[in-house]
């Protein structure tokens, strides 16, 4: 059974880290006999130049036809307005493919410097399709508007449907890990919207009596992650809170350059680097490709679960182990981690370890 993986390289360092990721996936395909087919489509500034939009219809149709997507970083803050073609490809994919769960693991790695005083291994499960994010909160029009030039308003949408399914995702994941879930909220202030979110999480909790459960207010949670991240296993949150906390957890584990991220729905999943496009170092072969590589490993595991193919799950685990092995020694790290390798060379090292 063959699987079609579509690469959307993106902006800035995107093409470089995408190439390194593809080399690792090809090594996994060779070792495990995965039957992977690779293709590319334009998005971002390259697509804007050629098609007049950062996310053209031809790219969208390629996404619809793919079994999985590897999405590079985008410079959407620098895009023109939406009516001039400046669509955020990440937001478009999350809505059009209904990628309701953004799953972001963070764990400290042996030999990799990190600012946390503790070793930890946690996952943040973030709702991905609503909340304060303007491109995801309203069917027609953005969720931000200005009644006058001096007043800016933002609408936050929280639905029972989205809250129930993200809670289900978190509890199901916890049964494969250490069996603990923490719900993050601000219901002491946003009593209606976060109150609805908590109501849904508690309803799902009743189906998992074996799972240890707690709730934390978001500002307290930010402090707990710094003080004792090791006490947490699976953290579930609404969109913006989950976005902020997952970046904090990634930095505590060693940096965004190491952080995996998977956008998952019922039918499709997208591997996405957790960091930005870093245009200041684009084309210099110095970017760390780990974030996109381990995100692609998560995509293989998701495809393995979906298609009941153990070899895909094994390949994802082997990629993660190969990355960890490469990061153990400075001689096989990238320069941001006090190593000596460039983007391409690091990808080649990981690919060789996958094949070994």
Which residue numbers are catalytic?
A: 133, 186, 219, 243, 247
Kind plus residue range of the DSSP H or E element containing 123 = strand 121-127
Backbone angles phi, psi at 32, to 5 degrees: -105, 0
Phi, psi dihedrals of residue 54, rounded to the nearest 5°: -75, -10
Beta strands 269-272 and 68-71 are: parallel
Q: Is the dihedral of CA 186, 274, 298, 327 positive or negative?
A: negative
DSSP single-letter state for residue 132: T
Asked whether 75 and 48 are in contact (CB, 8 A), the reply is: no
Name residues whose C-beta falls within 8 Å of residue 341's C-beta, 6 or more positions apart in sequence: 332, 333, 334, 335, 349
With beta carbons less than 8 A apart as the criterion, state whether 257 and 109 touch. Answer: no
Q: How far apart are CA 252 and CA 201, in angstroms?
A: 27
- Helix (H) and strand (E) counts for the chain? 11, 12
Q: Which helix (H) or strand (E) holds 291?
A: helix 290-307
């Amino acid at each position: 059974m063959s699987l079609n993986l579509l690469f959307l390289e993106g902006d800035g360092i995107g093409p470089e880290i995408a190439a390194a990721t593809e080399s690792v996936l090809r090594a996994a395909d060779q070792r495990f006999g995965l039957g992977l087919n690779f293709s590319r489509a334009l998005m971002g500034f390259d697509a804007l130049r050629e098609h007049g939009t950062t996310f053209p219809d031809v790219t969208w149709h390629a996404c619809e036809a793919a079994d999985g997507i590897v999405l590079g970083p985008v410079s959407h803050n620098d895009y023109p307005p939406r009516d001039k073609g400046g669509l955020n490809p990440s937001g478009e994919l999350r809505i059009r493919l209904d990628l309701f769960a953004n799953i972001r693991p963070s764990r400290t790695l042996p030999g990799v410097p990190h600012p946390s005083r503790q070793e930890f291994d946690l996952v943040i499960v973030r709702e991905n399709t609503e909340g304060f994010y303007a491109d995801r909160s309203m069917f027609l029009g953005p969720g931000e508007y200005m009644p006058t030039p001096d007043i800016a308003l933002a609408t936050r949408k929280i639905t029972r449907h989205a809250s129930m399914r993200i809670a289900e995702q978190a509890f199901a994941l916890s049964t494969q890990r250490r069996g603990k879930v923490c719900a993050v909220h601000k219901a002491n202030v946003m009593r209606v919207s976060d109150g609805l979110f908590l109501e849904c999480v508690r309803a799902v909790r009743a189906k998992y009596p074996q799972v240890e459960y707690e709730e934390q207010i978001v500002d307290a949670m930010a402090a707990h992650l710094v003080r004792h991240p090791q006490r947490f296993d699976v953290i579930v949150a609404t969109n913006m809170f989950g976005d902020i906390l997952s970046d904090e957890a990634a930095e505590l584990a060693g940096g965004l350059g190491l952080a995996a991220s998977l956008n998952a729905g019922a039918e499709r999943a997208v591997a996405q680097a957790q960091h930005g496009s870093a245009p200041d170092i684009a084309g210099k072969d110095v970017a760390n490709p780990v974030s996109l590589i381990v995100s692609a490993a998560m995509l293989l595991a998701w495809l393995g679960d979906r298609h009941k193919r153990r070899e895909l799950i094994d390949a994802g685990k082997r990629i993660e182990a190969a990355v960890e092995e490469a990061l153990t020694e400075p001689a096989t790290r990238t320069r941001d981690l006090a190593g000596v390798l460039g983007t391409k060379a690091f990808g080649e090292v990981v690919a060789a370890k996958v094949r070994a």
